[in-house]
Amino acid sequence: MNLNSENKQAIHDVLMTDMQKRLYEDGKGIMFTNDNEYTVILESIVEDVLHTDSVSDINDLLCGYEKLFPNEYLTLDGTLNYIIALLVSEVYSAVGPNAFGWIQWYV
């Protein structure tokens, strides 16, 4: 599934934010040991995210950084659910979960 140009920036933004958080919190000692290594990996993540145009591309990206993600995210279905969860979380943080109280039953 290709990403709409209208949605691509929002998806890239939440993906980069989450991957940066995961790298910092979960990557210490596993993927990097000092600030220079962290910066290089983070720059690589940003570059890789900006080159994703489809859910398949994002799945390939997650598989390339598999140490940062649970196995269930490393399938196409898992990747799609991960992206949806990131976007829902972004909406909740912007407007609050009570703005869409009816959604709480389904999320």
> pLDDT tens-digit profile of 20-50?
999 999 888 888 999 999 999 999 999 999 9
Q: What is the pLDDT of residue 54?
A: 97
106 pLDDT band (50/70/90 cuts)?
very low
- Is the per-residue pLDDT at 64 higher than 80? yes
SS3 content of the chain, % helix, strand, coil (to 5): 80, 5, 20
- What's the count of helices (H) and strands (E) in the chain, helices before strands? 4, 0
Please tell me the pTM assigned to this model. Answer: 0.84
Amino acid type, 11: I
